[in-house]
Amino acid sequence: MIPFLPVEDGILVTLTPEDLDLLSQLPDFLNSLGDPDNDPAAARLQSPVYREDSNASDEWWRLMVDEFRESRAADRSAFELILEAAAAGTVASMAEAEAFMRVLNESRLALAARLGVEEEGDMERLEEDDRGALEYLASLQQLLVIALMGEELEYEVEP
Amino acid sequence: MTTKPLERPITDTNVDVDVPWQVVVWNDPVNLMDYVVWVLRRLFGHSVEEATRLMLAVHNEGKATVAQGPREQAEMDAFRLHQHGLWATIEK
CATH number at residue B63: 3.30.1390.10
Whole-angstrom Cα distance, residue B91 to residue B24?
A: 8
Which of B86, B64, B81, B6 shows the shortest CA–CA distance to A157?
A: B6
Q: Which of B52, B84, B87 sits opposite A105 (nearest CB)?
A: B84
Q: Do A49 and B89 touch (CB under 8 A)?
A: yes
The verdict on A81 touching B (C-beta cutoff 8 Å) is no
Number of domains forming the structure of chain B? 1
What is the share, in percent, of chain A residues with pLDDT greater than 70?
A: 99
Residue B5 has a pLDDT of 52
Q: Do A105 and B85 touch (CB under 8 A)?
A: yes
Residue A153 has a pLDDT of 87
Whole-angstrom Cα distance, residue A121 to residue A153?
A: 23
Residue B7 has a pLDDT of 55
Section A131-146 average pLDDT: 96
Which of B31, B50, B12, B45 shows the shortest CA–CA distance to B88?
A: B31
A7 sits in which H/E element:
strand A4-7
Q: What domain range is B35 assigned to? A: 29-91
Average pLDDT, whole number, for chain B? 87
Helical residues (DSSP H) of A86-124, grouped into ranges: 94-114
Q: State the CB neighbour count (10 A cutoff) for residue A54.
A: 10
Residue B16 belongs to some domain of the structure: no
Q: Do B85 and A51 touch (CB under 8 A)?
A: no
Q: Do A109 and B30 touch (CB under 8 A)?
A: yes
Torsion of CA B34, A126, A29, B90, to 10 degrees: -50
Residue A48 Cα to chain centre, angstroms: 19
Residue B1 has a pLDDT of 47
Q: How far is CA B10 from CA A153, B65, B89, in A?
A: 18, 10, 19
Q: State the CB neighbour count (10 A cutoff) for residue B16.
A: 8
Q: State the CB neighbour count (10 A cutoff) for residue B65.
A: 16
Q: Which of A60, A102, A122 sits opposite B83 (nearest CB)?
A: A102
Residue B62 belongs to some domain of the structure: yes
Its ipTM equals: 0.94
Name which of A46, A49, A94, A106 to mutate to probe chain B: the one with the most chain B Cβ atoms within 10 A of its Cβ: A49
Whole-angstrom Cα distance, residue A68 to residue A17?
A: 31
pLDDT-based confidence at A120, cuts 50/70/90? confident
Locate the DSSP E strands across chain B.
21-26, 63-69, 88-91
Regions of chain B short of the pLDDT cut 70 = 1-19
Which of chain A's residues have a Cβ under 8 Å away from the Cβ of B79? 64, 67-68
Q: Does A107 or A1 have the greater pLDDT score?
A: A107
Residue B39 belongs to some domain of the structure: yes
Residue B18 has a pLDDT of 67
